[in-house]
Structure 1
Amino acid sequence: MTALPQTRHRSWYVLACWLLLGWTFSAADRSLTGPVVTWMINNHIGFMAEARLPFTLGGLIGGLFFAGYMLTQFPGGYLGDRYGHRTIIVVSIVWAGVATLLNGVITGLAVFVAMRVLTGLGEGAYYSNDRSLLAKQVPPRRLSFALGLVITGLAIGITLAILLAPGMIAAGIAALGKAQAWRMPFLLLGIVTLGVGLGLFLYFRRQGPMPLGRATLALLANAGVGLVAVMAVYFIGTGIGLTELPIAGLEVLLALVLVVVILRARRIDIGPVLRNRSMVMIYLSYFAVLWNLWFFSFWSVAIIADVSKTSFLYAAVVAAFNAGAGILGFPTGGWLSDYAARRGWGRKPMLLAFTAIQGVLTLVFGIYLLFSPKPNPIVAGVLIFVASLFFNALQPIGHAMLAELAPEKYRGSAFGMQNLIGEMGAVLSPAVGGYLRDLTGSWTQAVLLDALIIFGSFAVLSFVREARSPASPAG
């Protein structure tokens, strides 16, 4: 009876490498929008050329991706519990590759937005199944490290998208002309993501059959409802003259309505996901995590460009330090969390400490922007980098705590619920940040708001009680 768990434990390193690749290119796909939109704004290209509030519109486009991403968080986890986590992971990555590729082919703002939403709907199923598969196959004493190591792919993907965007756009100018150059990053990364999806399929196929057809149809059914709902809000909002910020707020309201419908329909199936107070507190705290992540990931190039008054390429290089902090922070935070758990200290004190430090450093960055007449881009980059180290380190700690609290049968649903609530922050932060930039001509107020939300997360996490003992990977 112990042979199967031991086999699982020995093979988790290979599994981690494949899942890290999936994170890398799905994150690069979603992160392209920020630098591409920034380049389009700066060069008055395409549908951004005529925008009345270009940063607000750009933020809305980023937020609508996360509206789609948000709406398949819980269904993706639920379907993973039903059809197998390996199956949904393969479907999610292949879907992301196809949708990203199509984003480089289509024309027009509305269709571009729809394809970004569709990309998010596919990628939204990855997180809960990746976390659940690791929690099942990794020894409890290494769980937080494994979760942090694998999600390092998120930081790598964001970094690659920011660093490579200028070069891919330059290649687009040479091949397609300046007016169409924005297409090239989507075309290139879409092809690479499809290759990763094929590799994941071949790797997982050796471990047993996967009902890909049925799982794809089930995810399509959920995604179809999500796409229609998100785009209906977008078209109705723009049709009646709403600005981009109220539309983003309506998308979050839409998500809340759909969550209530889902919970009422499946309240018997997923009761354990909702009745544990500590799990609910962790869900709520991730609003701040995803707000911060996608505020800086989407707008870091624009923030540095405003501060430095220099080239798009220079701003991209400096901004990449923010994303690159995850390459150190994610695995280090996971390792420290496991060490603390083995020593009997628990994970919560470290999670609270890292959250507080991140909040203080973000506040310092906002105050620096407020009182410095000419902010130094290097100082700004260092402050962002150090805050991001603690921010990325805290995430695998929270993931491990949730995995230990959730029964194995419901882990996919639990992680899906956590990220669904968190993604509400991701929907709002690009649009709210862009709106504050358009309104004030500065990023200071947006950064200070980010710090306030982080301190709110600290308050919520103080109510969490850890599991008494780590959950067994075999259930």
Structure 2
Amino acid sequence: MRNYRTLWFLLMLGWTVSAADRALTGPVVTWMIDNKVAFLADTDKPYALAGLIGGLFFAGYMLTQFPGGYLGDKYGHRTMIGVSLVWAGIATMLSGVITGLTMFIAIRVLTGLGEGAFFSNDRSLVAERTPPEKRSLGMGVVITGLALGITIATVFAPDLIDLGTSAFGTEGAWRMPFLLLGVVTLVVGVVLIAYFRTQERNLPYLRAAAHLGAYAAVGLAAVMAVYFVGDAAGLADIWIAVLEVALALTLVAVVFARKGEELRPVLHNRDLWLINLAFIAVLWNLWFFSFWSVSIVADAAHSSFGRSALIAAFNAGAGILGFPAGGWLADRAVKAGIGRKPLVIAFTAMQCVLTIAFGLVIVAGDPSVWLLAGLLFGASTFFNAMQPMAQAMLADIAPPEQHGAAFGMNNLIGEIGAVLSPAVSGALRDATDSWNAAIFLDAGLIAAAALLFCFVREKRSSTLLGGDGGEADRTGRFAKTAPVAPPPRPAARS
């Protein structure tokens, strides 16, 4: 476990660039809608279509969650991380090159398919290489890159688009963010591969990439087939997103049929499934605000695109504090014998309360932009702090040799929220001409997640720190470990 802090930093860079790549779509399509350019110029439901584009990215991202984790257990988690980042860098650059709605959707789906292999392998590598007593902190420090990446994409998208205007004109200005961030992602991927090479040479990158490519080819064909069929049938964008979720659930059924016995500890664990289902709300909330926060602030406060992006960045930037702080607090709670679960529930509940307050302020009308920023920051801080706590709890429950599969299944199920959130929220915005319904729907889902976490049985702190405990009792609390009696003294020799 030497040099685990170096590993934390490099994986945080990986999170930063991959998160920036996926978060770019939200502010870019918002700019397209405002300026009536490219493929969002002529549609009568621009928010629904833009949301569908974001949702289809996550449909691709979802479909390689479990295969990516499974292949990480097979080829090595470092191998899959390198493949994922290089893939994401190339595909993001291509996003800025292609022309036309269909090709743009296809390349964003392909980007998601590559990035989908990162999460499960990153979480597994952190759990494997970090001392158990610092597991939550490691999870939190590394995933801080998610907040950094979303913040970078949100804050600097206007500037990158302005730069693109001088290079490509107004019609093609949106290309510049994808081109520049794609290059940066590719560089970070090469840096991580070079670092991994100092630890182990001859990692099977080509074989792993080919194997992932086979899964991705099937995934791309399936996602695009659903899109084409739904579009040809005249289905609303929201129903196309629902069909993409049905595709993912079909994948889950296939996994159960083919890997049910091999992965029984992961697939048949009720506590892992409770966490997985709760993460539907987690990913819904993450990509509702990450995708639409600029538009929400602009509509509510009637502010400019650039100023709205700065205010919306308070949502993403809160993770820079929340992720590591939550990880540190969870590790302290384990050492104190309290466990991670009570903090997970409390922080999720606080996030729900602050999200409701955010919605009420918008409903009241003419809100202060700084009040919106404060509520976004507060809700997001609790939200981000909860995630490494819950992810470490999942790592504690799942068998170490199947961490990749466990995290892959967790994000596969959770990404149902990411697929539906942009599309459903955009459709609600078009239908109601406001973001109110979408915000309160988000708060309701977070409340449901808090309830699901209440029924998770986490492991005792004595087990996690090297003792002999087991699972928590039915209340979810840690049972006190009875003191171990000293061994009897040998009888005195006569």
TM-score range, shorter chain: over 0.9
Instruction: Say whether residues 1:470 and 2:460 are aligned partners.
Output: no
Q: Distance in 1 between matches of 2:367 and 2:42?
A: 30
Q: Give the counterpart of 2:452 among 453, 457, 460.
A: 460
Counterpart of 2:307? 314
Q: Distance in 1 between matches of 2:43 and 2:80?
A: 38
What is the identity, as a one-letter code, of the residue corresponding to 1:143? R
Provide closer, same or farther for how the CA distance between residues 471 and 223 of structure 1 changes in structure 2, counting only shifts above 3 A: farther
Q: Give the counterpart of 2:354 among 361, 367, 374.
A: 361
Instruction: Say whether residues 1:219 and 2:208 are aligned partners.
Output: no
User: Greater CA deviation, 304-313 or 328-337?
Assistant: 304-313
Q: Give the counterpart of 1:419 among 408, 411, 422.
A: 411
Written as runs of structure 1 = structure 2, the 5 A alignment for 1:236-275 is 236-275=229-268
Counterpart of 1:342? 335
- TM-score normalised by length of structure 1: 0.96
How much does 1:153 deviate? 0.1
Answer whether contact 2:92 2:179 (CA < 8 A) is retained. Answer: yes
Q: Distance in 1 between matches of 2:309 and 2:257?
A: 45
Q: Distance in 2 between matches of 1:275 and 1:155?
A: 32
What is the identity, as a one-letter code, of the residue corresponding to 1:329? G
User: Greater CA deviation, 358-367 or 57-66?
Assistant: 358-367
Gaps of 5+ in 2: 467-494
* Aligned residues: CA RMSD: 0.9
What is the identity, as a one-letter code, of the residue corresponding to 2:349? A
Q: Give the counterpart of 1:410 among 402, 416, 420.
A: 402
Counterpart of 1:3? none
What is the identity, as a one-letter code, of the residue corresponding to 1:326? G
Counterpart of 1:148? 140
Q: Distance in 1 between matches of 2:185 and 2:231?
A: 32
What is the identity, as a one-letter code, of the residue corresponding to 2:171? A
What is the identity, as a one-letter code, of the residue corresponding to 1:353? A
Q: Distance in 2 between matches of 1:103 and 1:415?
A: 28
Instruction: Say whether residues 1:134 and 2:90 are aligned partners.
Output: no
Q: 1:95-151 CA distances to partner (integer Å, 9 max, x unpaired)?
A: 000000000000000000000000000000000000000111100110000100000
What is the identity, as a one-letter code, of the residue corresponding to 2:238? L
Answer whether contact 1:404 1:471 (CA < 8 A) is retained. Answer: no
Q: Distance in 1 between matches of 2:41 and 2:319?
A: 33
Counterpart of 1:27? 19
Written as runs of structure 1 = structure 2, the 5 A alignment for 1:271-350 is 271-350=264-343
Q: 1:57-91 CA distances to partner (integer Å, 9 max, x unpaired)?
A: 11100000000000000000000000000000000
Counterpart of 1:107? 99
How much does 1:446 deviate? 0.3
- SS in structure 2 at match of 1:177: helix
- SS in structure 1 at match of 2:385: helix
Q: 1:430-454 CA distances to partner (integer Å, 9 max, x unpaired)?
A: 0111111111111011000000000
- SS in structure 2 at match of 1:403: helix
Q: Distance in 1 between matches of 2:393 and 2:444?
A: 24
Answer whether contact 1:152 1:327 (CA < 8 A) is retained. Answer: yes
What is the identity, as a one-letter code, of the residue corresponding to 1:55? Y
Q: 1:383-439 CA distances to partner (integer Å, 9 max, x unpaired)?
A: 111000000000000011011111111100000011111000000000111111111
Instruction: Say whether residues 1:14 and 2:12 are aligned partners.
Output: no
How much does 1:346 deviate? 0.8
Q: Distance in 1 between matches of 2:349 and 2:31?
A: 34
Q: Distance in 2 between matches of 1:467 and 1:111?
A: 47
Q: 1:21-68 CA distances to partner (integer Å, 9 max, x unpaired)?
A: 000000000000000000000000100001110001111000000000
Answer whether contact 2:137 2:324 (CA < 8 A) is retained. Answer: yes
What is the identity, as a one-letter code, of the residue corresponding to 1:120? G
Q: Distance in 1 between matches of 2:42 and 2:395?
A: 47
How much does 1:376 deviate? 2.0
Counterpart of 1:4? none
Answer whether contact 1:307 1:376 (CA < 8 A) is retained. Answer: no
Answer whether contact 2:133 2:465 (CA < 8 A) is retained. Answer: no
How much does 1:190 deviate? 0.5
Q: Distance in 2 between matches of 1:418 and 1:261?
A: 16
Where does structure 1 differ by over 3 angstroms across 4 or more consecutive aligned residues? none
How much does 1:326 deviate? 0.2
Q: Distance in 2 between matches of 1:125 and 1:471?
A: 30
- SS in structure 1 at match of 2:203: coil
Answer whether contact 2:137 2:388 (CA < 8 A) is retained. Answer: yes
Counterpart of 2:431? 439
- SS in structure 2 at match of 1:344: coil
What is the identity, as a one-letter code, of the residue corresponding to 1:269? E
Q: Distance in 1 between matches of 2:347 and 2:384?
A: 9
- SS in structure 2 at match of 1:206: helix
- TM-score normalised by length of structure 2: 0.93
User: Greater CA deviation, 361-370 or 22-31?
Assistant: 361-370
Q: Distance in 2 between matches of 1:373 and 1:404?
A: 45
Q: Give the counterpart of 1:181 among 155, 158, 173.
A: 173
User: Greater CA deviation, 359-368 or 50-59?
Assistant: 359-368
Q: Give the counterpart of 2:225 among 219, 228, 232.
A: 232
Q: Give the counterpart of 1:210 among 203, 207, 218.
A: 203
Answer whether contact 1:23 1:157 (CA < 8 A) is retained. Answer: yes
Q: Give the counterpart of 2:365 among 363, 373, 386.
A: 373
What is the identity, as a one-letter code, of the residue corresponding to 2:114? G
